[in-house]
């Protein structure tokens, strides 16, 4: 009996380890597919983000020396990010260009909608937009969404005023 338990425990550990490696390989393949097909995936490898950061740091420093960067204005930058999220008809390229004038760069300019994991399909969420702020070396992630119907009204009691 002890021998059987020992064999089963080794088998369980082996199966769990195989599943762990399979998931990471699968995720890596999906990431590559999303990047190659320009799907605007929010799943970027650390190498991709690091390369993006290094490139934008160099670009920022060059523009800063040339006097082409505006003084960082956190309130204005946040307003532009919110405008990009909330406006359906906004000229996103113009917003991204304005953000770049402050040293804030977009990693994944895409407007695809995400599939939410809620059981009811009454919410639409936009793809998160990832910004790198070269002026203070930080990352910002923004996302927007809306209710497709009025089901949220039954949750009003939970809202604090």
Spatial CA neighbour of 125 closest among 141, 140, 138, 106? 141
**Which of 102-106, 115-119, 126-130 shows the lowest per-residue confidence on average (mean pLDDT)?**
115-119
Alpha-carbon torsion, ordered 115, 117, 118, 124, to 10 deg = -20
User: 31 lies in a domain?
Assistant: no
Residue 143 lies in a domain: yes
Residue with tokens 């956190």: 74
Position 34 in a domain: no
Please check whether residue 150 lies inside any domain of the structure.
Answer: yes
Lowest mean pLDDT across 24-28, 64-68, 92-96, 110-114: 24-28
Beta strands per DSSP E along the chain: 104-106, 113-114, 123-126, 129-133, 138-142, 145-147
* Residue 144 in domain: yes
Which domain, by its residues, includes 91? 44-158
Q: How confident is the model at residue 142 (pLDDT cuts 50, 70, 90)?
A: confident
Whole-model pTM above 0.75?
Answer: no
Locus of tokens 């999906």: 30
Alpha-carbon distance 56 to 96, whole Å? 14
Residue 26 belongs to a domain: no
Please determine, for residue 157, whether its predicted confidence score (pLDDT) is greater than 60. no
Q: What is the pLDDT of residues 73-84, one digit of tens each?
A: 889 999 999 888
> How many domains does the chain contain in total?
1
Task: Please check whether residue 4 lies inside any domain of the structure.
Answer: no
Please say if the pLDDT value at position 49 is more than 90. Answer: no
Residue 21 lies in a domain: no
Burial level of 107, CB count in 10 A (0-12/13-18/19+)? buried
Taking each helix axis from N to C end, the angle separating 74-86 and 92-100, rounded to the nearest 10 degrees, works out to: 160
């Amino acid at each position: 009996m002890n021998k059987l338990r020992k064999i089963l425990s080794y088998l369980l550990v082996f199966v769990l380890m195989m599943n762990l490696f399979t998931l990471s390989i699968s995720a890596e393949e999906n990431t590559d597919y999303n990047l190659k097909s320009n799907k605007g995936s929010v799943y970027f490898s650390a190498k991709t983000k690091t390369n993006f950061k290094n490139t934008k740091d160099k670009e920022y420093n060059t523009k800063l020396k040339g006097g082409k960067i505006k003084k960082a204005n956190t309130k204005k930058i946040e307003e532009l990010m919110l405008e990009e999220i909330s406006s359906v008809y906004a000229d996103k390229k113009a917003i991204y260009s304005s953000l770049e004038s402050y040293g804030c760069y977009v990693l994944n300019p895409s407007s695809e909608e995400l599939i939410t994991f809620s059981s009811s399909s009454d919410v639409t969420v936009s793809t998160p937009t990832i910004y790198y702020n070269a002026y203070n070396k930080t990352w910002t992630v923004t996302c927007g969404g809306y209710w497709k119907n009025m089901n949220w009204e039954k949750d009003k009691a939970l809202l604090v005023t």
